Amino acid sequence: MEHVKCLIIGSGPAGYTAAIYTSRANLQPVVYEGLAPGGQLTMTTEVENFPGYPDGVDGTAMMEEIRRQALRFGADIRSGLIVKADLSERPFTLTTDGGHTLKADVLIAATGATATYLGLPSEAAYMGQGVSACATCDGFFYRKQDVAVVGGGDTACEDALYLAGLCRKVYMIVRRNVLRASKAMQERVLAAPNIEVLWEHQAKEILGDANGVNAVRLVSAKGEEKTIAVTGFFVAIGHHPNTELFKSWLTLDEQGYIVTKGRGTATDVEGVFACGDVQDPVYRQAITAAASGCMAAIDAERFLMEKG
């Protein structure tokens, strides 16, 4: 059985940043990258809002650079999944998908969250070429253009309002005849002159060509079809935090996100820290995830120092 000081699960901005800080603090971190090395940023194209990249950067390339930075300080980054966790006592026991067992003095959970998509084949085909689950990340690319947002919750309303400030027209595709969002959000959406809510409609197919998305085919509750011309298709039907591994051990909120204490990253199990989207239903940005990865590393280092 392998014994490590610090085990990090997850390889988005939070996990890799935690790896940079813990390796520089000589915690000799072992990182398991999980199913999607690089995390959600590898699903986008250009990242323009991460400080330090004035000309923008490809999401995958940026994650490769952060990974390389962690490797430079000696982080042991491994492909593979942690499939089982026993957090009943320290050191914690973790098992990989290859059946390898590790004991870890501290654990940093950075498993992220996954955006829910509609599941249409055409949606997958145009991912990053007009289809996005992050209006804050990608909205800027569609300024002065017509776009669609699918969903009727607070995220969809927030995205529609954000996009309405950038785009010529925003269609909101809502499957019922009501919005799930808070009253205040609903009022703002309905008052926006360039947002048109398409009630009781569902997206059936995303249409496009080599340049990306150019339209969406919709079907109404009555079965009538119509096509709207849009270049951006923003999916805002929810996210699910990747907390399956931790749910028997850590306190999760009603949406399944790991609950951390106060302003820090400590969970309710001593020695387990959480950072990034797995504990953040609110901001969900690469920069906030990276910042909380740094916080988790510092919290883990201080914890180990106190415990001798």
* Residues near ligand NDP, by CB under 6 A: 118, 150-156, 158, 175-176, 180, 202, 237-238, 281
138 is catalytic: yes
Give 22 or 155: the residue with its C-beta nearer to ligand NDP: 155
CB of 149 to ligand NDP, least distance (A): 10
Give 7 or 207: the residue with its C-beta nearer to ligand NDP: 207
**CA-to-CA separations, 139 to 5, 160, 213, 218, in angstroms, rounded:** 41, 10, 14, 22
Which one from 6, 105, 134, 159 is the annotated catalytic residue? 134
Give which of 175, 36, 57, 58 is closest to 115, Cα–Cα.
Answer: 36
CB of 157 to ligand NDP, least distance (A): 8
CB of 116 to ligand NDP, least distance (A): 7
157 is catalytic: no
Give 151 or 232: the residue with its C-beta nearer to ligand NDP: 151
CB of 209 to ligand NDP, least distance (A): 25
Q: How many CB atoms lie within 10 A of CB 196?
A: 14
Measured in degrees and rounded to the nearest 5, phi and psi for residue 202 equal -130, 150
137 is catalytic: yes
**CA-to-CA separations, 228 to 196, 209, 290, in angstroms, rounded:** 12, 15, 37
Measured CA to CA, the distance from residue 191 to residue 7 in angstroms comes to 49
- Residue number, nearest CB to ligand NDP: 153
Which one from 6, 105, 137, 157 is the annotated catalytic residue? 137
Measured CA to CA, the distance from residue 24 to residue 21 in angstroms comes to 5
Give 37 or 139: the residue with its C-beta nearer to ligand NDP: 139
Residue 257 CB contacts under 8 Å (≥ 6 apart), including other chains: 113, 241, 243, 278, 279, 280, 281
Q: Which residues carry out catalysis?
A: 134, 137-138
